[in-house]
C-alpha cells in the first residue's frame, strides 16, 4: 500500500508538486517533485461541471489560470471551477501565472528560468493523467479530496475516485485525505485496503486515537501548528503514521523527519 513504497520513518512529500519551482498541481510540478528526489507528492482533486475529476486547488480559477484574460469567460466571474466543463477548463493556461506572480521568488533568484517554455504550456491535469504517471513511475500520491460543498451525504466524488483507482490499478500507490471526513468514511466503506489520512487544521478531533481507529485510518495529517514531537510519538506507538503540513523551515522539517513524520513541503528540492 501507499506506505509500503516509502521509508519506514520520515519522508518528504511535495506539496501540490514541487510548487516552489513549477506551477502547482500541474504535470510539470509532479515531474519536478520526482526529479528532485521527493518520496511522494500531495495534490488536490475536484470535479468539473460535467463530472470529470481534475487536479486543482482553489474553488475559483482566477489565481492559477489565465481565465480572467480569456475572452469567452469574462462574464463568468468569480470563475467557479465546478461551473466549467472539462473542455473549457482544458482551454486554460495553468502555467503562465507562475512566471508573472513568482510566488516563491524562484524566478527572480534564477532557480526557475523564465524561458522554460513548458511552464507556459501547462494545463489543468485530469486525475487519470496523474494516476497514469503514478503507475508508470511508481511515485506514490496523497490525493486530497477537496470539500465540494455538496449537501451532506453527497459523496459522488469519492465513488468516482475509487472507480478510477480500480481502473488504473493505482489503489496501492494512493493515500486519500480530506478535511471532509464524510468522504473518508465513504472511501473506507468502498475499500478496506485504501490508505486513509485524516486532515485537521484548527483542532484535533476529540478522542483522536479512537477517532482514527473508527475510520481504520492509516495516518493523521495535522496542520503543523497542531503537531509536535509528543503527538508523533504517541500516534506512532498507537500504529498510525503522521504527515504534517506545510513545513517550509528546514530545521523544523529535520526535527519532524527524525521523529518519523512525513513532511509535506513546498520545497522538496531543498529538503530531499
Q: Which residues bind Ca ion (CB under 5 A)?
A: 44, 144
Residue showing the smallest CB distance to ligand G3P in the complex:
245
Binding mask 239-268 for ligand G3P (x = CB under 6 A): ------x------------------x----
Which residue's CB comes closest to Ca ion? 144
Q: Least distance (Å) from Ca ion to the CB of residue 3?
A: 19
Residues 113 to 132 in contact with ligand G3P, rule: CB under 6 A: none
**44 lies in the site for ligand G3P, by CB under 6 A:** yes
User: Cell 501507499, residue?
Assistant: 2
The phi and psi torsions of 169 (rounded to 5 degrees) equal 55, 50
CA distance 127 to 51: 12
Residues near ligand G3P (CB under 6 A), total: 10
E strands, the chain, in order: 11-15, 40-47, 53-55, 141-145, 174-178, 195-200, 219-222, 241-245, 262-265
Closest CB 266 distance from Ca ion, rounded Å: 11
Binding to ligand G3P by CB under 6 A, coded x per residue (else -) over 207-246, reads --------------x-----------------------x-
DSSP state letter for 248: -
**Residue 245 binding target from ligand G3P, Ca ion, none, CB below 5 to 8 Å by type:** ligand G3P
**Beta-strand relationship, 40-47 and 141-145:** parallel
- Longest Cα–Cα distance of the chain, Å, equals 56
Site map 5..24 versus ligand G3P, x via CB under 6 A:
----------x---------
For residues 128 and 53, give the distance between their C-alpha atoms in angstroms, rounded to a whole number: 8
Pick between residue 183 and residue 245 the one whose CB is nearest to ligand G3P.
245
Residue in the structure block whose three cell numbers are 487544521: 201
CB proximity list for 251: less than 8 A, separation 6 or greater: none
Measured from the CB atom, the residue of 64 and 177 that comes closer to ligand G3P is 177
Amino acid at each position: 500500500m501507499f506506505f509500503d513504497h516509502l521509508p519506514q520513518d520520515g519522508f518528504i512529500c511535495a506539496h501540490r508538486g514541487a510548487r516552489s519551482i513549477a506551477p502547482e498541481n500541474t504535470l510539470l510540478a509532479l515531474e519536478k517533485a520526482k526529479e528532485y528526489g521527493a518520496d511522494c507528492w500531495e495534490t488536490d482533486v475536484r470535479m468539473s461541471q460535467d463530472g470529470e475529476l481534475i487536479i486543482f486547488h482553489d474553488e475559483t480559477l482566477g489565481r492559477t489560470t489565465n481565465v480572467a484574460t480569456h475572452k469567452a469567460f469574462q462574464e463568468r466571474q468569480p470563475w467557479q471551477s465546478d461551473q466549467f466543463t472539462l473542455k473549457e477548463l482544458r482551454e486554460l493556461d495553468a502555467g503562465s501565472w507562475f512566471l508573472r506572480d513568482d510566488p516563491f521568488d524562484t524566478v527572480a533568484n534564477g532557480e526557475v528560468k523564465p524561458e522554460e517554455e513548458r511552464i507556459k504550456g501547462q494545463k489543468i491535469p485530469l486525475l487519470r493523467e496523474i494516476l497514469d504517471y503514478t503507475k508508470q513511475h511508481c511515485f506514490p500520491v496523497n490525493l486530497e479530496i477537496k470539500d465540494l460543498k455538496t449537501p451532506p451525504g453527497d459523496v459522488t466524488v469519492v465513488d468516482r475516485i475509487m472507480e478510477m483507482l480500480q481502473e488504473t490499478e493505482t489503489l496501492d500507490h494512493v493515500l486519500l485525505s480530506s478535511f471532509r471526513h464524510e468522504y473518508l468514511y465513504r472511501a473506507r466503506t468502498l475499500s478496506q485496503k485504501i490508505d486513509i489520512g485524516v486532515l485537521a487544521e484548527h483542532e484535533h478531533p476529540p478522542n483522536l486515537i479512537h477517532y482514527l481507529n473508527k475510520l481504520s485510518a492509516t495516518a493523521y495529517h495535522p496542520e503543523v501548528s497542531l503537531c509536535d514531537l509528543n503527538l508523533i510519538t504517541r500516534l506512532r506507538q498507537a500504529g498510525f503514521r503522521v504527515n504534517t503540513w506545510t513545513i517550509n523551515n528546514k530545521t523544523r522539517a529535520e526535527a519532524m523527519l527524525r521523529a518519523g513524520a512525513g513532511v509535506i513541503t513546498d520545497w522538496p528540492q531543498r529538503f530531499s
